[in-house]
Structure 1
Amino acid sequence: MAVTYTAVVDVDGEGRNGGHVRSSDSLLETSLAVPKQLGGAGGATNPEQLLAAGWAGCFLGALRRAAASRKIRLTSTTITAEITLTHGDDGEFSLSAVLRPVLGGVDRATAQELALAAHEICPYSKALRGNIPIVIDADAAAS
């Protein structure tokens, strides 16, 4: 298998609690903070938001690819990605996810079919499927 692309990101400091993120090309540079909902200061992004953004961006591309392969023209595409951090009774943290794509130009059944096809294509989905609970809940855009 040929390497297509490798992203390189450095994180320093205290990681999610005051760390700093910088990509090797400097296109991504931001600070990290524990969200206020977890007792932190907030005011900066966190790993869950970064995962949600990356996955949603990748998943939208996979949706468009799935539609194109079926010769379906989408008039619009949006997605909401929810990454939830949970703390179990055993003291361990884990993640779960909900992906909510909304597709224009198709009915709800077709939107769900395309979303499930995208879940098979998307590299993020492939990496996380079977490792965390994932819900795919697609809908058709209001016309």
Structure 2
Amino acid sequence: MPIQQSDVLYTAVATAENGRDGRVATDDGTLDVVVNPPRELGGSGTGTNPEQLFAAGYSACFQGALGVVARQEKADLTGSTVTAKVGLGKNGDGFGIIVEISASIPGVDTDTARSLIEQAHQVCPYSKATRGNITVTLG
């Protein structure tokens, strides 16, 4: 269910200059990065790129969702990590992305880890935003 503007608790604001070959900065100055296409796409690869920024945001958000679920299940997340791989490729409309999320949760058994990851995928705001729009696999 979509949230209403009156329910918003925080709004991040970022502005890009020159798209994939320029700069992106947040209004509060905490993020200010050069963006360049990766070498694989013919760019210099000297800066970050939108896919890396998306992967960073998705992995952090998913780790937060995993924390919420683990607290509910009384599971130990000590030493856990979440990795997001974001691929960019051609599709029928031009370009699209695909995501693979994997988590390492050393404090629980394999079945519990899998359950926690699947539950986190249901509550993570990034997962909700992408559901039905892009392929997201859980590893």
Range into which the TM-score falls when normalised by the shorter chain: over 0.9
For 1:72 and 1:100, how far apart are their aligned partners in 2? Answer: 17
The alignment's TM-score, normalised by the length of structure 2, stands at 0.92
For 2:77 and 2:60, how far apart are their aligned partners in 1? Answer: 16
For 2:80 and 2:132, how far apart are their aligned partners in 1? Answer: 26
* Gapped regions of structure 1 (runs ≥ 5): 138-143
Which segment drifts farther, 124-133 or 74-83?
74-83
Q: Secondary structure at the match of 2:55?
A: helix
For 2:35 and 2:77, how far apart are their aligned partners in 1? Answer: 35
The alignment's TM-score, normalised by the length of structure 1, stands at 0.90
Matched, 1:36 2:39: yes
Instruction: Count the aligned residue pairs.
Output: 134
Choose which of 5, 12, 21 in structure 1 pairs with 2:24.
21
Choose which of 97, 102, 105 in structure 2 pairs with 1:103.
105
Q: Supply the RMSD in Å over aligned alpha carbons.
A: 1.1
Look up the equivalent residue of 1:102 and give its one-letter code.
S
Q: C-alpha displacement at 1:75, in angstroms?
A: 2.1
- Identity, in percent, stands at 43
Matched, 1:73 2:37: no
Q: C-alpha displacement at 1:91, in angstroms?
A: 6.1
Q: Secondary structure at the match of 2:11?
A: coil
For 1:125 and 1:11, how far apart are their aligned partners in 2? Answer: 24
